[in-house]
């Protein structure tokens, strides 16, 4: 029997913690039904985690560790300062001072505390971490839903047409943030939603990425830009349509947005130099970086959002981040387009 891979172990661990969606839960149950090793692993986890069932765990703040350490340091410094002050007062009064250092009463106390620390580090902290990831995942889904709402309003006010800009054949879709008159970037269509007030620009920043949560938009004068100010302001990839497609509006259940394509992490910032990227196994198989490579949220034309651990959706087996003819070692030039409507390609 084939050993469980890391993705299957992750799925079972999430399921044991109650962090899986309905679809992921069904996938985990199916895996356990066909693989005794998976079932044993899951039940072992559940038995170990059963004491946590009574805990009510909320989203874990990102700066919890820093705040805790800071608080302990302040408390320690205050205690040390008070103790030192008392010693000096006693010495000033001529009394002999003995500094007592507290020790554990016995090795049983040490063992008990060590056991608690092992439980906290090995179980509680991962649980809080996964809960936090699930929280950001759900926040990301809500933002994609908000983008769809803005698109729906745009479509209803533009005779059923999706946001679009005239693009010349061979235009470089990878130049996100280019502010020239030429419509080079694939994100310019999405920027229309921001520029015309249909979507708040903050909706395009995935909350699962720390640097995204730190971006400020208060001083951003959207009307002065032709595209997102730079790549850091858009964490989602947008479908590049097939030039021969006749589909319009938010029809059918097609993929239109998703968490950032791994290819985007390799795109250059120098727009004056020729672009060439050699595809490799990592770019062909990695999940989006938005959610720590655990998977990606995908937005469909009908407004539904699906989190998938693989690079295809429940709609088809097509890889949403590549074209069908992309393979290990092939060269990406940054102006490729799908050859047919069924070949979804989300860029940058």
Same domain, 192 and 82: no
321 and 343 within one domain: yes
Assigned token pair, 204: 């395009």
Q: Are residues 294 and 221 in the same domain?
A: yes
Task: Please give the mean pLDDT across all residues of the chain.
Answer: 81
Q: Which residues contact 49 (CB under 8 A, 6 or more apart)?
A: 16, 17, 123, 127
pLDDT in tens, 39-49: 888 888 787 76
> pLDDT tens, 258-281?
999 999 999 988 888 888 999 999
**Dihedral angle over CA of 63, 263, 254, 236, nearest 10:** 30
Residue 337 lies in a domain: yes
pLDDT at 53: 57
Residue 59 in domain: no
Q: Which of 129, 151, 171 lies at the terminal end of a domain, its last residue?
A: 129
pLDDT tier for residue 344 given thresholds of 50, 70 and 90: very high
Q: How confident is the model at residue 99 (pLDDT cuts 50, 70, 90)?
A: very low
Whether the pLDDT of residue 74 is over 80: the answer is: no
Q: Give the separation between CA 84 and CA 67, rounded to whole angstroms.
A: 25
Residues 182 and 280 in one domain: yes
Is 331 contained in some domain? yes
For residue 200, is pLDDT > 50?
Answer: yes
For tokens 């981040």, the residue is 321
Residue 162 is assigned to a structural domain of this protein: yes
Same-domain check for residues 302 and 230: yes
For residues 109 and 258, membership in a common domain is answered with no
| pLDDT for the residue 287 | 95
| Domain end marker among 14, 30, 54 | 54
- Asked whether residue 152 is assigned to any structural domain, the reply reads yes
Q: What is the pLDDT of residue 244?
A: 80
Question: Looking at the domain assignment, is residue 73 inside a domain?
Answer: yes
Domain around 265: 133-347
DSSP track, 214-253: T---TT--GGG-SS-SSGGG--EEEEPPPTT----SS-SS
Q: Which residue has the higher pLDDT, 167 or 69?
A: 167
How many structural domains are present in the chain? 3
Same-domain check for residues 164 and 278: yes
Two structure tokens written together for 119:
């439980």
Tens of pLDDT, residue by residue over 269-328, are 888 888 899 999 999 999 999 998 999 999 999 999 999 999 999 999 999 999 999 999
- 109 and 143 co-located in one domain: no
Tell me which of 8-22, 42-56, 237-251 is least confident: 42-56
Residues 39 and 80 occupy one common structural domain: no
| 15 assigned to some structural domain | yes
Residue 81 and residue 190 in one domain: no
pLDDT of amino acid 41: 86
Is 1 inside any structural domain? no
Q: Does the structure show a pLDDT above 70 at 90?
A: no
End position of a domain, from candidates 15, 30, 54:
54
- What's the confidence (pLDDT) of residue 104? 47
147, 287: one domain: yes
Mean pLDDT of 107-134: 59
Residue 185 and residue 76 share a domain: no
Task: Kindly tell me if the per-residue pLDDT of 100 is higher than 70.
Answer: no
Cis amide prior to 211 (ω within 30 degrees):
no
């Amino acid at each position: 029997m084939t050993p469980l891979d890391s993705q299957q172990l992750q799925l079972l661990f999430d399921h044991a913690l109650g962090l899986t969606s309905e679809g992921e839960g069904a996938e985990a149950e199916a895996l356990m039904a066909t693989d005794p090793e998976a079932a044993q692993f899951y039940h072992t986890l559940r038995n170990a985690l059963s004491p946590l069932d009574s805990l009510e765990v909320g989203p874990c703040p990102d700066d919890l560790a820093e705040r805790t350490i800071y608080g302990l340091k302040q408390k320690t410094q205050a205690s040390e300062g008070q103790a030192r002050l008392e010693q000096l007062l006693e010495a000033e009064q001529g009394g002999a001072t003995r500094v007592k250092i507290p020790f554990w009463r016995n090795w049983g106390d040490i063992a008990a505390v060590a056991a608690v620390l092992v439980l906290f580090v090995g179980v509680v902290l991962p649980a809080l971490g996964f809960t936090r990831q699930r929280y950001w995942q759900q926040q990301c889904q809500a933002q994609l839903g908000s983008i769809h709402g803005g698109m729906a309003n745009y479509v209803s006010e533009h005779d059923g047409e999706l946001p679009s800009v005239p693009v010349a054949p061979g235009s470089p879709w990878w130049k996100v943030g280019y502010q020239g008159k030429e419509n080079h970037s694939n994100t310019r269509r999405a920027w229309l939603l921001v520029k015309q007030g249909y979507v708040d620009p903050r909706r395009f920043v995935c909350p699962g990425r720390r640097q995204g949560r730190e971006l400020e938009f208060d001083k951003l004068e959207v009307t002065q830009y032709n595209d997102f100010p730079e790549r850091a302001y858009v964490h989602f990839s947008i479908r590049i349509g097939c030039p021969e497609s006749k589909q319009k509006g938010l029809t059918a259940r097609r993929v239109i947005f998703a968490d950032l394509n791994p290819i985007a992490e390799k795109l250059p910032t120098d727009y004056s130099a020729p672009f060439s990227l050699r595809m490799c196994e990592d770019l062909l198989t990695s999940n989006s970086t938005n959610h720590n490579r655990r998977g990606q949220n995908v937005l469909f034309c009908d407004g539904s959002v699906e989190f998938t651990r693989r690079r295809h959706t429940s709609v088809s087996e097509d890889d949403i981040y590549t074209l069908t003819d992309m393979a290990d070692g092939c060269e990406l030039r940054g102006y490729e387009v799908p050859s047919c409507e069924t070949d979804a390609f989300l860029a940058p």
